[in-house]
């Protein structure tokens, strides 16, 4: 552990420091933009990004991942800030952190396996749409200058990387900010600047307990927000950890990440910052810029604070148009454009799940609701498919006047009606044998369906016997551990 | 694994000690009549050749980056695998010349400690060089993964410190009565490592001689149950110092001891006795956990 800790911190010093600086430069406009989304002063997002990045570098479970103030969590805070103010947001942030630590101890990260690729794509697309929508207030009811500056900014962002040499050296979003600011400053154009949006940090953050009454009423106010923030924060963090795992071909400690996110949020709330989580885009930028270790995250957080504290005067004259250009880039980059094309080629179920996730998120502004919807619809589709894995074979023996039904496959709540429909209750026979040794009764609905069939057949005057019920109902027991062994799975799926 | 027989695992890389490691592993394999397995690990640097600092979030950024990174690592891996194959082939030839028939040569991705903990169930003993190829040329010092590798498993580890290959003749067993040293005592008694010609020196060091002698009696009683050629010595003083002096005075070529009985955190603050011994003595080591 100590060796890997050393490797995590000092294994890639030069790459980590350079990448950390690139990320810090990219984090500043994002942190300001997300503060504006949440409706708080830019300093709240900037302090949060500092606190979260620095702390997650130490306590996180994924080296090289960047966490800071994010759009996903900022979107959840809007009404809390509007109705109750900043202090309640800080309290909600601390509580969200506590909930995340609890989630870590409860191993809730294991539920990530329920999130399918379609849900994840829906999550990202919805996030992109919400980030874009959040920029609209800056683009409505403004002079043509703002549109021109935003367009110019986007041009710089996308074209500057093609400039030989320099393009790979300087982050183009930063070049956009510098150029647009210079144009506005020297030409004296009257447009909104970051300074107009609220206070910027001019000192180092200080420790502050949120100024809220510690009573049940407060808890009632903040709890719904905290739980949403905790869930969305963990969702995006664990998704991002998976992305970075894949990119770097290394493993991360998801449980530690959950607890780490919690600690980082508590820390953020206590120095006047808002809640955040891992950032998919920035984390990929970090890896792309050569960052691999914990040092990169630490440098990003520290450098960000140095930047904003010393440059707050300059930052305050940066036009909002430059910031909007950066956020449009983030939105375009986050959206999975390929997913629109594959809407036609993917199975309808996958596309439905993706689109449903997007719609619910955009409607509720809460990524958690979208994800739950996606999981739910996805599970229904899965149940529908599984129910097709059942059929009944029937055979009549004239000598003994016996009808034998052989049931093969999966009988559960969704296939039990289909199961009943296989039987011919109008046929008058002496004896009926129901052979279920190759069937699996997954739940009590399935057992009830079998009972119903037997009773109905008896009413018609037949002698009914069932073969192999023990084998069939083995699946009914919730002893999943038994089925972990290949031979047990073979017994169930192979059906004999 | 198809064969249930546990093997002697020789961890080799391109370092100067590689030859000696193979040699000792062959000797151990003959002694213990276990198959021999040569292991070469392929460690990825996970470092990109060129980094992009443009800092933009572009569509499909993840997919592009994934393609780029996997291409880079693929060529790095291919090169490392080829190098490893050469090293393994040489070791295999050496084992064939020594007359061994059950020889396995394996490559694994990842670090040595990870590989060891994955393979633990099929190993009877591990042979390691005290430093890897990254440390060639450094006279003193230990490999950066050595402690982690030893801690990764609970099978005995034979650590080769000298490039010169010579059959172990005199083994000093440092016994202090601790739980790990008791495990070590049992292992020595079994005689997996000890040939009939091997002279075992049971050495106990304590702050006062009476206690040291008590330990000697205790150790000797256990060793007497096995068929071991034992000499004993009780010494008074500071353990590492006395043990190393005894080793030098008596031309001991191998030091056996229980290893890393304390946790890593303890080692961080107080220093580890095992590490101290490994650093200060030039003999080969048989560490038992």
What is the CATH classification number for the domain harbouring B196? Answer: 3.40.50.620
φ, ψ at A398 (rounded to 5°): -70, -40
Predicted confidence (pLDDT) at residue B269 exceeds the cutoff of 60: yes
φ, ψ at A278 (rounded to 5°): -70, 150
Statement to judge: residues B124 and B263 lie in one domain: no
Cβ pair B59:A22 closer than 8 A:
no
Q: How far is B95 from chain A (nearest CA, A)?
A: 33
Identify the pLDDT of residue A478. Answer: 55
Identify the pLDDT of residue B188. Answer: 86
Identify the pLDDT of residue A428. Answer: 87
pLDDT digits (tens, 9 = 90+) for A122-149: 999 999 999 999 999 999 988 999 999 9
As for how many domains chain A has, the answer is 2
Q: Structure tokens of A387? A: 């129910």
B56 touches chain A (CB under 8 A): yes
d(CA B282, CA B278): 8
> Which among A12, A158, A282 is the nearest to B47, CB-wise?
A12
CB A247 within 8 A of CB B62: yes
Between residues 215 and 254 of chain B, which touch chain A (CB distance below 8 Å)? none
Question: Looking at residues A202-223, what average pLDDT do you find?
Answer: 92
Identify the pLDDT of residue A490. Answer: 63
Which residues of chain B are within 8 Å of residue A24 when distances are taken between CB atoms?
A: none
Q: How far is A176 from chain B (nearest CA, A)?
A: 11
Statement to judge: residues B95 and B142 lie in one domain: yes
CB A68 within 8 A of CB A269: no
Q: Is residue B174 part of a domain?
A: yes
CB A232 within 8 A of CB A76: yes
Q: How far is A327 from chain B (nearest CA, A)?
A: 10
Q: Which domain holds residue A267?
A: 2-347
Q: Is residue A320 part of a domain?
A: yes
DSSP-derived secondary structure for A411-463: ESTTTHHHHHHTS-TT---SEEEEEEEEEEE-SHHHHHHHHHHHHHHHHTT-E
Statement to judge: residues A246 and A173 lie in one domain: yes
Interchain CB contacts (distance < 8 Å): A and B: 104
* pLDDT grade for B192, boundaries at 50, 70 and 90: confident
Q: Structure tokens of A361? A: 């998120």
Of the residues A278, A312, A347, the one at which a domain ends: A347
Q: From A24, which residue of chain B is nearest by alpha-carbon distance?
A: B55
Statement to judge: residues B156 and B15 lie in one domain: yes
Identify the pLDDT of residue A86. Answer: 95
Identify the pLDDT of residue A494. Answer: 54
CATH number at residue A413: 3.30.750.24
B44 touches chain A (CB under 8 A): yes
As for how many domains chain B has, the answer is 2
> Which among A18, A330, A332 is the nearest to B53, CB-wise?
A18
Highest mean pLDDT, choosing among A202-211, A347-356, B108-117, B267-276: A347-356
pLDDT digits (tens, 9 = 90+) for B207-266: 888 888 888 888 888 888 887 888 888 888 888 888 899 999 998 999 998 887 777 776
C-alpha dist (Å) from residue A418 to A412, A451, B16, B70: 10, 15, 71, 48
Statement to judge: residues B152 and B184 lie in one domain: no
Identify the pLDDT of residue A114. Answer: 92
d(CA B43, CA B13): 11
Of the residues B141, B160, B179, the one at which a domain ends: B160
Q: Structure tokens of A370? A: 């979208």
* pLDDT grade for A11, boundaries at 50, 70 and 90: confident
Which residues of chain A are within 8 Å of residue B60 when distances are taken between CB atoms?
A: 336-338
> Which among A160, A250, A333 is the nearest to B61, CB-wise?
A333
B18 touches chain A (CB under 8 A): no
H helices, E strands: number in chain A: 22, 6
DSSP-derived secondary structure for B180-194: HHHHHHHHHHHTSS-
Q: Which distant-in-sequence residues (6+ apart) come within 8 Å of B92 by Cβ?
A: B38, B103, B105
pTM: 0.83
Cβ pair A281:B66 closer than 8 A:
no
CB A336 within 8 A of CB A322: no
B49 touches chain A (CB under 8 A): no
pLDDT digits (tens, 9 = 90+) for B3-59: 468 899 999 988 888 888 999 999 888 888 889 999 999 887 666 566 787 788 888
Statement to judge: residues B140 and B201 lie in one domain: no
Statement to judge: residues B12 and B146 lie in one domain: yes
Statement to judge: residues A343 and A410 lie in one domain: no
Statement to judge: residues A61 and A180 lie in one domain: yes
Predicted confidence (pLDDT) at residue A337 exceeds the cutoff of 90: yes
What is the percent of chain B with per-residue pLDDT over 90, rounded to a whole number? 17
Q: How far is A337 from chain B (nearest CA, A)?
A: 7
> Which among B44, B47, B145 is the nearest to A3, CB-wise?
B145
pLDDT digits (tens, 9 = 90+) for A381-396: 999 998 888 888 899 9
């Amino acid at each position: 552990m100590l060796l890997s800790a050393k490797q995590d911190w000092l294994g890639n010093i030069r790459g980590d420091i350079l990448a950390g600086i690139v990320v810090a430069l990219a984090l500043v406009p994002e942190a300001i933009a997300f503060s504006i989304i949440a409706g708080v002063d830019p300093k709240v997002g900037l302090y949060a990004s500092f606190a979260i990045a620095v702390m997650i570098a130490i306590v996180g479970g994924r080296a090289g991942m960047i966490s800071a103030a994010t759009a996903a969590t900022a979107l959840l805070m809007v009404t809390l800030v509007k109705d109750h103010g900043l202090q309640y947001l800080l309290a909600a942030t601390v509580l969200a952190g506590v909930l995340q630590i609890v989630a870590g101890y409860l191993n809730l990260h294991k539920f990530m396996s329920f999130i399918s690729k379609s849900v994840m794509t829906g999550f990202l697309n919805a996030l992109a749409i919400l980030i874009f929508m959040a920029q609209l207030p800056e683009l409505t009811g403004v002079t043509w200058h703002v549109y021109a500056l935003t367009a110019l900014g986007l041009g710089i962002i996308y074209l500057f990387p093609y400039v030989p040499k320099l393009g790979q050296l300087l982050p183009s979003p930063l070049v956009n900010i510098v150029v647009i600011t210079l144009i506005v400053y020297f030409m004296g154009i009257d447009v909104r600047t970051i300074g107009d949006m609220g206070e910027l940090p001019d000192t180092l953050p200080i420790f502050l307990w949120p100024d809220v009454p510690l009573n049940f009423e407060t808890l009632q106010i903040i709890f719904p927000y905290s739980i949403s923030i905790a869930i969305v924060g963990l969702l995006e963090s664990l998704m991002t950890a998976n992305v970075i795992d894949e990119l770097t071909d290394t493993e991360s400690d998801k449980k530690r990440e959950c607890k780490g996110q919690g600690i980082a949020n508590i820390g953020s709330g206590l120095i006047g910052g808002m809640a955040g989580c891992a950032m998919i885009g920035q984390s990929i930028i970090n890896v792309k810029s050569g960052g691999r270790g914990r040092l990169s995250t630490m440098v990003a957080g520290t450098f960000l604070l140095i930047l904003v504290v010393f440059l707050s005067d300059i930052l305050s004259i940066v036009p909002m148009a430059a910031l909007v250009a950066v956020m449009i880039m983030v939105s375009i980059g986050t959206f999975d454009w390929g997913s629109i094309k594959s809407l036609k080629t993917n199975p309808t179920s996958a596309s439905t799940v993706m689109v449903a996730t997007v719609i619910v998120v955009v409607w509720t502004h809460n990524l958690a609701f979208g994800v739950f919807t996606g999981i739910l619809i996805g599970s229904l589709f899965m149940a529908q498919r599984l129910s097709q894995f059942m059929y009944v074979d029937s055979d009549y023996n004239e000598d003994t006047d016996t009808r034998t039904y052989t049931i093969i496959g999966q009988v559960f709540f969704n296939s039990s009606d289909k199961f009943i429909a296989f039987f011919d209750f109008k046929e008058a026979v002496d004896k009926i044998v129901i052979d279920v040794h190759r069937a699996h009764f997954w739940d009590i609905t399935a057992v009830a369906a079998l009972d119903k069939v037997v009773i109905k057949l008896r009413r018609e005057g037949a002698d009914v016997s069932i073969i192999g019920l023990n084998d069939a109902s083995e699946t009914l027991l919730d002893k999943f551990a038994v089925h972990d062994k290949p031979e047990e799975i073979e017994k169930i799926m192979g059906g004999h | 694994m198809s064969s249930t027989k546990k093997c002697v695992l020789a961890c080799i890389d391109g370092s100067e000690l590689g030859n000696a490691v193979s040699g000792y592993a062959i000797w151990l394999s003959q002694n213990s009549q276990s198959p021999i397995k040569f292991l070469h690990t392929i460690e990825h640097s996970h470092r990109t050749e060129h980094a992009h600092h443009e800092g933009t979030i572009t569509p499909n950024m993840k997919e592009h980056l994934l393609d780029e990174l996997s291409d880079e690592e693929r060529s790095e891996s291919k090169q490392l695998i080829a190098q490893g194959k050469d090293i393994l082939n040489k070791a295999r030839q050496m084992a064939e010349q020594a007359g061994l028939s059950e020889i396995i040569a394996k490559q694994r991705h990842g670090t040595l400690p990870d590989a060891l903990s994955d393979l633990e169930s099929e190993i009877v003993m591990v042979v390691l060089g005290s430093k890897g190829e990254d440390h060639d040329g450094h006279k003193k010092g230990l490999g950066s993964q050595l402690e982690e590798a030893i801690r990764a498993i609970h099978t005995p580890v034979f650590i080769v410190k000298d490039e010169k290959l010579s059959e172990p003749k005199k083994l000093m067993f440092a016994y202090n009565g601790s739980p790990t040293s008791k495990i070590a005592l049992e292992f020595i008694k079994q005689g997996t490592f000890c040939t009939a010609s091997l002279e075992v020196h049971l050495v106990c060091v304590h702050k006062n001689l009476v206690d040291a002698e008590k330990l000697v009696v205790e150790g000797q009683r256990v060793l007497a149950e096995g068929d071991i050629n034992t000499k004993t010595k009780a010494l008074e003083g500071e353990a590492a110092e006395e043990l190393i002096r005894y080793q030098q005075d008596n031309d001991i070529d191998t030091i056996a001891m229980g290893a890393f009985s304390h946790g890593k955190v303890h080692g961080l603050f107080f220093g580890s006795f095992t590490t101290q011994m490994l650093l200060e003595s030039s003999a080969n080591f048989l560490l038992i956990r």
